[in-house]
Chain A
Amino acid sequence: MTVYAYFVAAWLMLVGAYGIVRSRNLVHAVVSLAVCQSGTYVLLLAVGYQHGALAPVFGSTIKPSRHVVDPVVQAMTLTDIVVSATVTALLLALAVQVSKRQGTVDPDELTALKG
């Protein structure tokens, strides 16, 4: 149990990559890339977790103390999630244009770049 969470993260990364390798559709490939990125988020958050600790937001009911989970990995992850949505959108825009120019989104049928 002490490393299970890390293995979930590794599984997500590798399965996302596997999705790109055997993909027959560019949209599917871009979404598999997003799955791979989610794996890195799970790894970051798992690294920061502490059993029984509270959320790192203080207020009237929770006084400032150090018994909270790691806020740094949470900060890294939350900005990255929003930004990765836009980068995925950028890649999807490219996929849209590929389908318009070459009439297909199947990587096996894209012939414009070779050699």
Chain B
Amino acid sequence: MSAGAVPHYLPLIIVIPVIVGCVLVAVGSYLPRPLTDFLAIGTAAAVTGLAAVVLTTASHSGRVVTWTAGWRPAHRLSVGIPLIADPVSAGLALLAGALVTCALLYSWQYIQSVSGRFSALMLFFLAGMEGFALSGDLFDMFVFFELMGAAAYALTGMKIEDESAVQGGLIFGVMNSLGGYLSLAGIAILYSRYGQLGLPQLGAMLAHQRPDALVIVAFALIMTGFLVKAAMVPFHFWLADAHAVAPSPVCVLFSGVMVELGVYGVARVYWTVFSGAIPHHDVTRAFVVLGALTAGIAAAMCLLQRHLKRLLAYSTIAHVGLFVIGFATLSDNGTAGAALYVVGHAGLKAALFLLAGVLLSKYGNVDEHRLYGRATADRVEACLYLAAALGLSGLPPFGLALGKSVTEEAVAATGYAWGPVLFVAVSALTGGAVLRAGLRIYFALGPRPAPESGAGAGEETTGAEEKPDTKTLPRTPITMLAAIVVLVAGALATGLIPGVGQGFADAAQRLTDRAGYIAQALGHARPAPLRRHPAVSWTAEGIGLDMLSAALALGVAGLSLYAQCLPEVLHRIFRPARPVIVTLRRLHSGHIGDYVAWLFLGVAAFTALLGLPLL
């Protein structure tokens, strides 16, 4: 299609999955399984292709803008809803489509499908993610946020025979809904004064205002929903519970793109609406504190887990903390680095979740201790797991390592010299935990864990009672392996393709350019030419820090594996940390009342961090 026609077809990215989902709901029980699977995968692939077309168009013309139902703006006001795809939005839309395609490929034939309803829910989930990424209107973003949520709650609780699955789904549902309602309250407060809901119009009105208490409160409330979705501390408790119980292909989507969409929501709404009204250094300080706290606590929790999927979930939370720090630099390089980091992380984390799913299907549980040495015959999976785990710790030339090095540099340049230290430490700790699990399961390294060992058995979810996603499989199906290989290869390719860094740097510039966004959305302005800037690419120090993280991760894995054999001196050094660890563990209680209490405390703390310095 011609470049001029692309804006008109932009809504199809959102509409097609819904329509095909309807078809699957209507006739899914009459069609044979391969046909429903094929229909679903085909739709996801088509959406991915369409998103790729939009991405190329957006890279050339800045942003692809369409006002739905033809209500074009006049005098910077409008009654309609715009869909605005700049390279970051289109890129996220592409990522969502690609991950859904891989997840559906993995689910081919074996995942319990309930007359095509599983595929239908996946397609509704895809539509929600696409709508959220492409929307240019605050209330519309809220609506697609709710769509993502509704499909996700059902997908999480799908294994109804598993007692933890339905509990995890309920906790997920209550927490995300509550976050959404607080966001809606913020939207209402902002709307009362400005009378518009579209991002370009609000951005134009707020462009050069002095920070006012109403705007700060509205900003904090609107951010709450996105921060709950992004699982930042202390809104993060639901994520490990949900990941632990959802089927593996669904976890791929949660960790790979849904949580990152929360970070995108924060960035999009801040840059287009509030960046002219709230001083940059306040926002930087608030989000850096939040991100560092999240990364630290999640890395600690990650090391303590023996449930493989909970371990991976906490690793996701830690990485999201790092993404937020990258965004918080409010610089082009920091944003580009964070975006690269997101894409690299998505491929590797998705592959690791699918590998965990394969283990669950073949051996019946995901408890690291019980799986010790059981998968030594699975050579292919072992190689894939090692590659993904090392990539997660920051080994070059995976795309994640490139993103990590660029972000570290940007954080240090913003004035936080401890930034690179935090990044290396968190990557090493989380990567080490993942490596430890893999070395135990696939290589039988380290002493065999005692049957009910681990600090406080009974105080934790072990993964031993997890119900499988599929009937017990003797051999890994080729479709599952194919999905995993594609993901790891994709993550590798992001770091190797020349020009990738340039593309992300340009995309970051478009994201942070409020005036350009408003001009292109509200008028027929040509996009401003991109500033020349130092290319985002591999540097010697970056590679050095990456290799250091990977090496430290191996060290952490080794230390944890052989913890019993360590000299008594080392044990005595770590003893004071025990009460802290026990308290941290106990706070993650699985009790919905606790989580809601922390949610409100978090909103209060975030607003205080943001607003008190402005008084």
Binding site for B on A (CB under 8 A): 9, 13, 17, 20-23, 26, 29-30, 33, 36-37, 39-40, 43-44, 47, 72-73, 76, 83, 86-87, 90-91, 94-95, 97-98, 101-102, 107-108, 110-115
Contacts and interface: CB of A to CB of B under 8 A. Distances in A.
Contacts of B460: 114-115
B181 A36 contact: yes
Contact of A101 (B150, B153, B166): B166
Nearest to B589: A114
A102 B593 contact: no
A21 B166 contact: no
Contacts of A112: 163-164, 167, 461, 590
Contact of B588 (A36, A72, A86, A115): A115
Contacts of A22: 593
Given A29-B174, A90-B173, A44 B461 contact: no
Contact of B590 (A26, A73, A111): A111
Contacts of A26: 170, 592
B163 A114 contact: no
A21 B596 contact: yes
A115 B178 contact: no
Given A76-B139, A114-B459, A114-B461, A101 B163 contact: yes
Contacts of B161: 101
Given A90-B173, A91-B174, A23 B184 contact: no
B365 to A, nearest CB: 15
B146 A113 contact: no
B192 A107 contact: no
Interface string B182-206: 1011001101100001000000000
B177 interface: yes
A113 B160 contact: no
B169 A94 contact: yes
Contacts of A95: 170
A53 to B, nearest CB: 15
B154 interface: yes
Chain B contact surface mostly: helix
A107 B593 contact: yes
| Listed residue (B177, B188, B245) with the most chain A CB atoms within 10 angstroms of its CB | B188
A9 B166 CA distance: 31
Contacts of B459: 114-115
A79 to B, nearest CB: 9
Contact of B167 (A37, A43, A102): A102
B591 interface: yes
B361 interface: no
Contacts of A33: 174, 177-178
B557 interface: no
A95 B305 CA distance: 27
A38 to B, nearest CB: 10
B304 interface: yes
Contacts of B606: none
Interface of B: 139, 146, 149-150, 153-154, 157, 160-164, 166-171, 173-174, 177-178, 181-182, 184-185, 188-189, 191-192, 197, 241, 244-245, 304-305, 310, 456, 459-461, 585, 588-593, 596-597, 600
Given A37-B177, A47-B191, A112-B163, 5 more contacts: A17-B596, A21-B596, A23-B592, A101-B163, A115-B585
| Listed residue (B163, B169, B456, B459) with the most chain A CB atoms within 10 angstroms of its CB | B163
Contacts of B164: 112-113
B181 A113 contact: no
Given A107-B593, A112-B164, A91 B185 contact: no
| Listed residue (A20, A72, A114) with the most chain B CB atoms within 10 angstroms of its CB | A114
Chain A contact surface mostly: helix
Contacts of B174: 20, 29-30, 33, 91
A91 B192 CA distance: 31
A67 B460 CA distance: 61
A89 to B, nearest CB: 10
B44 to A, nearest CB: 23
Nearest to B590: A113
Nearest to B177: A33
A27 B263 CA distance: 32
A44 B173 CA distance: 23
A89 B44 CA distance: 28
A95 to B, nearest CB: 6
B167 A13 contact: no
B144 to A, nearest CB: 12
A17 B178 contact: yes
Contacts of B188: 40, 43-44, 47, 73
Given A97-B166, A98-B170, A115-B459, A20 B593 contact: yes
Contacts of B153: 87, 90-91, 94
B397 to A, nearest CB: 36
Nearest to A42: B188
A87 B177 contact: yes
B157 A113 contact: no
A13 B178 CA distance: 10
B461 A113 contact: yes
B167 A90 contact: no
Q: Which 4 residue pairs spanning A and B have beta carbons closest together?
A: A115-B460, A113-B590, A112-B164, A101-B163
Contacts of B592: 20, 23, 26, 29, 107
9 contacts: A33-B177, A39-B181, A83-B146, A91-B177, A94-B169, A102-B163, A108-B591, A110-B591, A113-B171
| Listed residue (B146, B167, B185) with the most chain A CB atoms within 10 angstroms of its CB | B167
A107 to B, nearest CB: 5
A86 B139 CA distance: 19
B600 A113 contact: no
A24 B154 CA distance: 23
Contacts of A97: 157, 160, 166
Contact of A37 (B157, B163, B181, B304): B181
Contacts of B589: 114
B455 to A, nearest CB: 10
Nearest to B310: A115
